[in-house]
């Protein structure tokens, strides 16, 4: 480790100023500041808490802004992530089973082993470890069809889940076309089994919304919801109720994206009624459906409809409830990113920064890997009143 990394930020400024053979006056002149301002910064009397100022200082000193924060610059590995996504695309482009191509020396995983692999991928996704998930997917997408081919009955649900996980992650990474393809594969594999179709339709709805096809998303998710809906809710299994309710939420979010206030309210009210028959903390079919999830969906729908104050109200009420902590980290962090958007819509930068910081603490990858979250961070960091923690994070991630 460079010894300068242990120094306070003001001392690091002084260290690099001296290395560049600049007097305090000359350094101040190049910054457009006074010599007294530079002296106070270097002595730690004045803090550096604005991203723009850090960038200006770094430019004069000809160093990376992250050096001033005492760490080696570690921007998100955008190129590495793009390469990983390309490997997923390649895996989805293989047609070994339908074309009868040789599978090489790679062994076919038995159902029990494949089940463990799928469970691990779901768990990793719900813990918001997106980098690890994207590394797992290429092998999963090769192995799951092979297992299904050798065990069509018991391997079918595993194949559907492999495609569902893939679609869910690609929606996060905003690779909408590939997410749609993965969700479509899940639907095809699920055909004939109403439960598997309903589960696959959740990710299909997400992918269609990500692709800007809100009307189609609403139609598909509603059809799947009413196909799985119990005739009498009280007698329905918790798993079926969870799937139906989740699909109604997806339909509501699609309606909100299309600007249909009335349909949004009706669908979320219907989902609320279903959630009333369940409890929080249960994760049937990896939906995390329950009263808290529906309340958060109300907030998300309000944001889509441009009702930021309503979204903030739902956020503040819901996150105080016990069910909030029972949701997967991925779900909570995604909601916090949405809420940061709502706070920005009402020009409340302080609270936008607060909830975005909470999202980082909940699931760092939500900020590091989601383009929408990175854009939000950059916007907040540019505000002159943004807290130091946010500006430091923005610099570390290479955001201006």
Give the residue extent of every domain in the chain. 3-68, 75-210, 213-327, 341-400
- HSE value, Cβ hemisphere, 13 Å, CA-based, for 217: 27
**In this structure, how many other beta carbons lie within 10 angstroms of the beta carbon of residue 303?**
22
- Which residues fall within 8 angstroms of residue 89, CB to CB, at 6 or more apart? 178
- Which residues fall within 8 angstroms of residue 57, CB to CB, at 6 or more apart? 13, 31, 48, 65, 68
* CA pair distance 121, 129, nearest whole angstrom: 10
DSSP 3-state assignment of 231? Answer: coil
CB 119 within 8 A of CB 140: no
Topology adopted by domain 75-210: 1.25.40
pLDDT digits (tens, 9 = 90+) for 93-116: 988 888 887 666 788 999 999 999
pLDDT digits (tens, 9 = 90+) for 67-88: 777 654 444 455 567 788 899 9
Instruction: Write down the architecture of domain 3-68 according to CATH.
Output: Orthogonal Bundle (1.10)
* CA pair distance 280, 322, nearest whole angstrom: 9
Q: What is the pLDDT along the chain (400 residues), one digit of tens a residue?
A: 444 455 678 888 888 888 888 999 999 999 888 999 999 888 888 877 677 788 889 888 888 777 777 654 444 455 567 788 899 999 999 888 888 876 667 889 999 999 999 999 999 999 999 999 999 999 999 999 999 999 999 999 999 999 999 999 999 998 999 999 999 999 999 999 999 999 999 999 999 999 999 999 999 999 999 999 998 888 889 999 999 999 999 999 999 999 999 999 999 999 999 999 999 988 999 999 999 999 999 999 999 999 999 999 999 999 999 999 999 999 999 999 999 999 999 999 999 999 999 999 999 999 988 888 988 888 888 777 777 778 777 777 766 5
Question: Residue 89: is it exposed, middle or buried by C-beta count within 10 angstroms (0-12/13-18/19+)?
Answer: middle
pLDDT at 398: 65
């Amino acid at each position: 480790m460079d010894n300068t990394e242990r120094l306070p930020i003001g001392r690091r400024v002084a260290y690099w100023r001296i290395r560049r053979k600049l007097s305090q006056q000359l350094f101040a002149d190049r910054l457009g500041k006074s010599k007294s301002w530079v002296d106070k910064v270097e002595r730690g009397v004045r803090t550096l808490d604005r991203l723009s100022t850090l960038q200006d200082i770094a430019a004069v000193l000809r160093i990376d802004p992250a050096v001033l924060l005492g760490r080696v610059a570690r921007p998100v590995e955008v190129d590495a992530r793009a390469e990983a996504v390309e490997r997923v695309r390649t895996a989805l482009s293989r047609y070994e089973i339908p074309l009868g191509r040789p599978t090489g020396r790679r062994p076919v995983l038995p159902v029990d082993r494949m089940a463990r692999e799928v469970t691990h991928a779901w768990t990793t996704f719900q813990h918001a470890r997106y980098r690890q998930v994207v590394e797992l997917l290429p092998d999963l997408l090769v192995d799951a069809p092979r297992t299904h081919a050798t065990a069509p009955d018991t391997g079918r649900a595993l194949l559907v889940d492999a495609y569902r996980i893939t679609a869910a992650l690609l929606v996060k990474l905003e690779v909408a076309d590939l997410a749609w393809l993965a969700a479509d594969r899940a639907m095809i594999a699920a055909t004939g089994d109403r439960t598997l179709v309903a589960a696959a339709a959740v990710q299909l709805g997400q992918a269609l919304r990500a692709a800007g096809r809100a009307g189609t998303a609403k139609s598909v998710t509603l059809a799947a919801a009413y196909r799985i809906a119990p005739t009498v809710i009280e007698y329905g299994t918790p798993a079926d109720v969870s799937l139906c309710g989740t699909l109604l939420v997806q339909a509501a979010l699609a309606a909100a994206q299309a600007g249909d206030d009335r349909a949004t309210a009706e669908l979320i009210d219907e989902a609320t009624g279903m959630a009333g028959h369940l409890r929080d903390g249960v994760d049937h079919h990896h939906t995390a459906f329950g009263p808290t999830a529906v309340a958060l969906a109300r907030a998300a729908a309000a944001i889509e409809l441009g009702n930021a104050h309503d979204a903030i109200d739902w956020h503040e009420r819901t996150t105080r409830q016990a069910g909030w902590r029972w949701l997967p980290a991925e779900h909570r962090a995604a909601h916090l990113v949405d809420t940061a958007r709502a706070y920005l819509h009402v020009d409340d930068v302080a609270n936008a920064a607060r909830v975005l910081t909470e999202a980082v603490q909940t699931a760092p990858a939500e900020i590091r890997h989601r383009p929408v979250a990175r854009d939000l961070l950059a916007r907040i960091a540019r505000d002159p009143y943004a807290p130091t923690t946010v500006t430091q994070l923005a610099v570390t991630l290479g955001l201006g």
